[in-house]
Amino acid sequence: MEQLVKQLKDKVQNPTSVSLDYVKIDGASKPQNMDIDRLANEVSTPSFLSSHRLVEVRNSDLFVPAKSAAKDKITEVREKLIDFLAHIPEGSCLIFVEDKVSNNLKRLVKAVTTNQGAFVTVPLQKPDELSRWIARVLKARALLIHRNAGESLIMRCENSMGDIYSELQKLTLYASHIGEKAIDLAMVEEVCRRDLRGRVFDLTDAISIGDVREALRLLDVLFSQREPAQRILVMICRHLRHLLAAKDRLNRYELAAKLKVPDFVAKNLQAQERHFTLSQLFNIYELCCLTDALIKQGRIEDKIGLELLVVEAGMLGATGKVGI
């Protein structure tokens, strides 16, 4: 999505007048507070040096049904937007970037499509598509990337093309600085965002063999990198759900499709699940749910809660028995 918006900006904007001809409005997911009069004024202002004035609205939440107490106000705002969409000047472009769009809002959808507008859906790309895209982007910059480095980058960014592109920018600058023409895994480790999923994978490996000391060391590394305890817990829970799915005896490609992860991640999940019984996985997942409840109830500090979880899960991994 970020690339589509950038391409449109490059097409209609004069680089010397972007500050005058481009406006970005953040709705902050509060549709009742959207000022349609201001939006109309911004869109109706003539461009200065560009071929078109560009107004980008993000997170308006006007394209999904209202469920809050401000439903009447949101409906009023939406009606004003519908009226305005019929009066957008030819020299202006209006973009809405939204997480969700509901086809149930038929009047709003019709107002967009009948006034030369269009809806564009940009789903998350599959890992193999992202790998090819990464290679194309870097080839245009006279760079190569090792396969394991590309896979690690995709996993770190959780298939988000926008996030991957930002990391590629950093890698390009770094490679230029050190005079390298190929990006390897060590460079990704050095420059890019931390690989939380990989750390959780290693932590689960330690738990599977009952190596509590190593599991606590890995947990401490995550804390030292200022990863929030709640995010770590969420990632552990998700990883356990993936291991449970791997117990279904699907082949690697079926598992990857089911979980929407790269093939190499599915392969690693299948290798790791063999170290756990189904009962062990269920019991560790139950420990995670109990830890989450205790933290949210304020009965235990989040850091201590996670450390106790790792200790008990490690005991369970070693013996199959644990006291909750």
pLDDT at 209: 86
pLDDT at 318: 59
Q: What are phi and psi of 96, to 5 degrees?
A: -110, 125
pLDDT at 33: 93
Tokens representing 287 are 């420990």
**Domain ranges, ordered by start, for the chain:** 2-113, 127-191, 196-319
Tokens representing 257 are 């499709």
Cα angle for residues 315, 156, 140 (degrees, 5° grid): 155
Contacts for 43-48 with beta carbons within 8 Å, 24 or more apart? 43/84, 43/88, 43/89, 43/92, 43/94, 44/87, 44/89, 44/92, 46/89, 46/91, 47/17, 47/20, 47/21, 47/91, 47/92, 48/14, 48/17, 48/20, 48/21
Tell me which residue of 205, 208, 229 sits closest to 276, measured CA to CA: 208
The end-to-end CA distance of the chain, in Å, is: 46
Instruction: Give residue-wise pLDDT tens across range 207-250.
Output: 988 889 999 999 998 898 888 899 899 999 999 999 999 998 88
Q: Which portions of the chain are predicted below pLDDT 50?
A: 320-324
pLDDT at 324: 36
Tokens representing 19 are 């500050």
Beta sheet of 53-58, edge-to-edge order: 22-26, 53-58, 92-97
Q: Are 244 and 204 in contact (CB under 8 A)?
A: no
Residue type, 169: Q
Report the topology of domain 127-191: Helicase, Ruva Protein; domain 3 (1.10.8)
Place of tokens 């305005």: 84
Residue 301 gets the label, from left (phi > 0), alpha (psi -120 to 50) or beta, of beta
Instruction: Give residue-wise pLDDT tens across range 164-215.
Output: 999 999 999 999 999 999 999 999 989 998 778 888 888 998 998 888 999 9
CATH 3.40.50.300 assigned to 2-113: yes
- CB neighbourhood size of 38 (10 A): 11
Query: CA-to-CA distance for 266 and 260, rounded, in angstroms?
Result: 9
Q: Are 286 and 323 in contact (CB under 8 A)?
A: no
pLDDT at 319: 55
Query: CA-to-CA distance for 216 and 218, rounded, in angstroms?
Result: 5
CATH 1.20.272.10 assigned to 196-319: yes
- The pTM (predicted TM-score) of the whole model is 0.57
Tell me which residue of 256, 250, 195, 184 sits closest to 222, measured CA to CA: 195
